[in-house]
Structure formats: C-alpha cells, structure tokens
Structure 1
C-alpha cells in the first residue's frame, strides 16, 4: 500500500524523477499498473505528434488520480513485471507503441520500449545482487 506522504512527494515530482521512481518501485513490487476499458482493451493515449502511448504507473493510486471523467467505466489493473517485460513490451515494440511512464496529469516520460527494457533489466540486476 502506498503511503500518503510518498504519494504526495512523487505525484508532483519532475517527470525524470518519477521515471526513476517508477523503475525502482516496479522492480520492488514486481508489478506495473495500467488502465483498461470495459472491453478489457488497454487504454492508450497520444502525444502532440499523434504517437500512440501506453500509460503505465508504479502504483494503482497514481493511475487513479489521472483518470478523466470520460474514463468512468475503466479499470486499473496490475500486470506482473515479468509479463510486462516479456510479453507486453515486446508486443508494444512490434506495433511501434511507446510508453508514457508515470503520467501525473501534467507531464510524463515518453520512452521507447528498448530503453525501458534496458532500464528495467539494469535495475533488476542490481536488485537481485542485493536480495
């Protein structure tokens, strides 16, 4: 469960800080949070250049604060980290879809799948050495 103080500290942090936090926290929790619609399709977004993005968060509470009024019928679900890395991101790469990491309603880190996978694997290797 996410503590209120931690939530408040990171929801307003700069995008690059939230990205680093995302990497660390999903490695610890072993899950990534996404939004799906009532048909169980992943809710996607777009940027100024019409790039298709999949928003992801480290905790359900962060995703909840970003749901818009027209998303009342959507659900926030957790994906196991290994499934996210080995299936989800690979499928996104094939489709040319980027990740929007830890959008807070104002800004986000838009990142290519290869870089996100590299960063997750790097952090995972450090985490495994410690644990």
Structure 2
C-alpha cells in the first residue's frame, strides 16, 4: 500500500472510514489494535465526554501510521473469531467502547463492542 492512498483514506470522515473499516475487515477477517512493549492495548479516554474506548483499524499500515511518534506502540492483529469471543465480552465487562478507525480529522465512530460485532456479523451474512 503506497502512502498516497493511505493518506487519502485517513482524510475521509468518520462515517466513510467506518464503511471502509467494515469492508476491509470482512475481506481480511482481522482487526488491528495497538499494544505497548508489555502487550497492553492502547485505550483512549475522550477529553470531551470521558468515554473510554479501544481504537481499532482495518490494517497494520493504518495502525502503524496512527502510532507514528508514539514510543513503543506496535500493531497487533485480532482474528474476527478472537474479537467476537474474547474481546467483545471483555470490553463490555470493562465498560469500554470501540473507536472505529481513527483518522486525521476530529470525527470518530465510537460504538459499543456488541454493536460493532453485530454490524460485522450482519455484513458477513450478506457475503
């Protein structure tokens, strides 16, 4: 993937990035997160409303681009079954939402983990 399409996609608004995320995750069957050297995942708390969320990306390239300039964060993939069976219940238990595909603007699709799971499963059923 060249940097030009990467930049172009990152400049899409939150809803367009959400749609791009769904399409690519369904194609690749994996979600990408960022972890630190202790294998702890990146969690962000919104300054505006205090919502805590797990940012997720459709590929390692987008996660790595987001992590540029942050020490020790590396992309890690989660298979869809792993995300559905392990991560969704864990995020719900911890009261964390999911921030789908942060980009270069201030818009971000933040959704409950169960809703993202349902959206992905609905799309999978249509394939």
Distance, in Å, in 2 between the alignment partners of 1:113 and 1:80 is 15
How many aligned residue pairs are there? 125
Measure how far apart 1:86 and its partner are: 1.6
Aligned match of 2:112 = 112
Distance, in Å, in 2 between the alignment partners of 1:54 and 1:33 is 10
Aligned match of 2:66 = 66
Show structure 1 runs of 4+ deviating over 6 A: none
Q: Which runs of 5+ in 2 are unaligned?
A: none
Pick closer, same or farther for the CA change 1:92–1:53 going to 2, 3 Å.
same
8 Å Cα contact 1:65/1:104 also seen in 2: no
Give the alignment's Cα RMSD to 1 decimal: 1.5
Aligned match of 1:32 = 31
Query: Secondary structure of 1:20's match?
Result: helix
Aligned match of 1:123 = 123
